[in-house]
Amino acid sequence: MTFKRPADAMAQRTNPHHLIVVALETFFVPVPKFDLPAPYTYELREYARTRPDQVAERIADADVIIMTVLPVPANVLRPQVSPRLKMVSVVASGTDSVDLAACKARGIVVANTPHCNAVSVAEHALALYFAVRRSVTLSHTMVRAGGWPKMGTMQKALDGPDGKPPRTCRDETLGVIGYGAVGKVLEATAKSLGMKVLVSGRKGSATAAEGRTAFDTLLRESSVIVLCLPRSPETLNLISDAELDAMKPYAVIVNVSRGGIVDEKALVAALRARKIAGYGTDVYEQEPASDENSPLIGPDTADLNIVTTPHVAWCASDTIANYNRATKENIEGWLSTGHPKYPVV
């Protein structure tokens, strides 16, 4: 694909210390005011949203770009397209939307903002857990459809595939898959609620490190499984048919990681076959998710115990403050020392 840059972007800027910072997705998090070390100055260009086909034009003369989930592929990272680009600042923990290999080959620094949303995501995971375990969405839909007067009592709507009422926290065993900042906050909070907590080892490993539980054992023993790990080639379809078959019939799964880690078609099939009790998710294989691109959404799944939220687990006032702090530390630190505080590449 060929891109054309505006004529003014083709000209060599005379001041190498004056940086053009292009923020491509301020819809998610506003850009903080930067206090750059002397002699650096900057011009900020802000775009609320950017389509993939607009990236090349908007970063044509950028020194720094700030983005969240927008794809930054190799073709826009070529010197012919973004000749002055020196840094990609990601306002998120995940960097899977940036071609890291292309950045490394060009010497472009990539920094992310880890741990900023740990408390919010952990709390959201627990909110999804309670909603699924108590069949909140399913019973809400049934009440709205006039089911309560017809049935007289709806307590059986909360029963799991094992035919028993929902468990309380003191009877739950929570399996945490992904023991980063979110996993650690989740572990502490779950224990305070009375849950037993298991932390997963790596899938495919017969043994687990001290303090960890083998992946296959965790699947068999947990009544609640929460996924909070990065998406990578190794974690795609981490949970699919075989893993779902290994779970308890009253198990619920919560996914606050990334789409693609759970095989959505296999998940829906397992719920239909009543192999597990429910699924709560904030992430999807394709986003924005709709009944056109996700098997989790649509009228044919309305009778299943699925709770969906639109990738907003991160959203909280302290998360935004943390993102702003970390973004400042990355860009200002890179200019001061040559290294951002949270380097990726």
Q: What amino acid positions are annotated as catalytic residues?
A: 258, 287, 311
Q: Token pair 């919560």 is at which residue?
A: 254
Is the separation of the CB atoms in 173 and 222 below 8 Å?
yes
The whole-angstrom separation of Cα 311 and Cα 288 is 9
First vs last Cα of the chain: how many Å apart? 26
What CA–CA distance (Å, rounded) separates 298 from 321? Answer: 36
Distance between CA atoms of residues 126 and 202, nearest Å: 23
- Give me the residues paired with residue 90 across strands: 67
Record the tokens describing residue 101, joined without a space: 């290999």
Helix (H, G, I), strand (E, B) or coil at 22: strand
What is the C-alpha to C-alpha distance for residues 204 and 146, in angstroms, rounded to an integer?
A: 48
Residues 6+ apart with CB under 8 A from 345: 100, 103, 104, 108, 109, 110
Closest CA to 108 of 71, 79, 80, 69: 79
